[in-house]
Structure 1
Amino acid sequence: MTTEQLYEELNYVNHSREKRLHYANLVIENPDLISKLLDILFMVDDKVSCRAAWVFEFMCGENLEASIPFLDKFTEHMHKVHLDPAVRPVAKVCEYLVKAYYSKTDNKIKTALKPVHKERIIEACFDYMINDEKIAPKAYAMNTLYLLGHDYDWIHPELALILERDYQMQSSGFKARARHVLKKIKN
């Protein structure tokens, strides 16, 4: 399947779990499509990029290790994604990667996620925290940054500062997550 054919297929992806899962499995079964999916995801001004982001997120949810050969490409370009429906899945993939990295169970992400990838994820997550993003990317970013703060001692103080500063102006969902993360930072 060419990038153009995949692009056309993505027009059939909608919010339904069934459609996202169908295309995620298609990509998992055909790993040569992952690079093409990312090419479409990084067409950041195109609405179809959001659908590519949904499929990539579902692919990572089903088989995170399938993303390993593409970590350079994903982390190098993820900061360009700006459409709300695409930002959320990108932030979720960052959380998946970091949760796997810090997981107690052995997995290939632990060796594949290099310092450069983590630094790019940190930068993107702090951008989500300080920019005018919806609650979901901020919530995923909070969690991701909290975990990465175990290896980067400057992260927790910075994250706490942002959470405390923005607390009053944010939604109840943000406040609940922020309280939870601040409590973990202080313990």
Structure 2
Amino acid sequence: MTKAQLYKELNYVNHSREMRLKYANLVIDNPELITPLLDILFEVNDKISCRAAWVLEFMCGKNLNAIIPHLHTFTAHMGKVHLDSAVRPVAKICEYLTTAHYSKTKNLIKTKLSQTHKENIVAACFDWMINDEKIAPKAYSMNSLYLLGTEYDWIHPELAIILERDYEMQSSGFKARAKHILKKIKHH
């Protein structure tokens, strides 16, 4: 399947779990599609890029190791993503990656997620925290930054400042997650 054919196929992807899963499985079964999927995802002004993001998120949810050969491309360009419905799945993938990296369970992400990848995740997550994003990307970013802060000592104080500063202006969902993360930071 060419990039053009994949692009056309992505028109059929909708919000339904069934369709996202169908295309995620297609990509898992045909890993050569990950490169064109990322190319489409990073055409950040095209609405179809959101559908590519949904498929990539579901692929990572099912088989996170499938993104390993593409970590450099993903982490180098993810900060450019700006459409709301693409930012959420990209932030979720960052949470998948950091959760796997800092997991007590042995996995490939622990050895494949490089210093540069982590720095790119930190930069993108802080951007999502300070920009006018919806609650979901902020929640995923809080978790990712908390985990990264267990390795990089400067992250927790910066994250705490943002969470405390934004606390009053945010939704109840943000407040609940922020309270949880702040408590973890204080006890770390």
Q: Same fold (TM over 0.5)?
A: yes
Tell me the equivalent position of 1:18: 18
CA RMSD of aligned residues (A): 0.3
Aligned-pair distance for 1:20? 0.2
Tell me the equivalent position of 1:95: 95
Tell me the equivalent position of 2:175: 175
Aligned-pair distance for 1:84? 0.1
Segments of 5+ residues of structure 2 without an aligned counterpart are none
* C-alpha separation in 2, matches of 1:88 and 1:112: 23
Tell me the equivalent position of 2:40: 40
Aligned-pair distance for 1:28? 0.3
* C-alpha separation in 2, matches of 1:35 and 1:86: 17
Aligned-pair distance for 1:10? 0.2
Offset from partner CA, 1:65-114 (integer Å, 9 cap, x none)? 00000000000100100000000000000000000001111110000000
Offset from partner CA, 1:147-185 (integer Å, 9 cap, x none)? 000100000000000000000000000000000000000
Aligned-pair distance for 1:56? 0.1
How do residues 92-171 of structure 1 correspond to structure 2 at under 5 angstroms?
92-171=92-171
Give the letter for the 1:160 counterpart.
Answer: A
Offset from partner CA, 1:22-57 (integer Å, 9 cap, x none)? 000000000000000000000000000000000000
After the TM superposition, which segments of 4 or more aligned residues of structure 1 sit over 3 Å from their partners? none
Segments of 5+ residues of structure 1 without an aligned counterpart are none
* C-alpha separation in 1, matches of 2:25 and 2:105: 24
* C-alpha separation in 1, matches of 2:151 and 2:183: 18
Tell me the equivalent position of 1:4: 4
Question: Quick one: percent identity of the two aligned structures?
Answer: 76
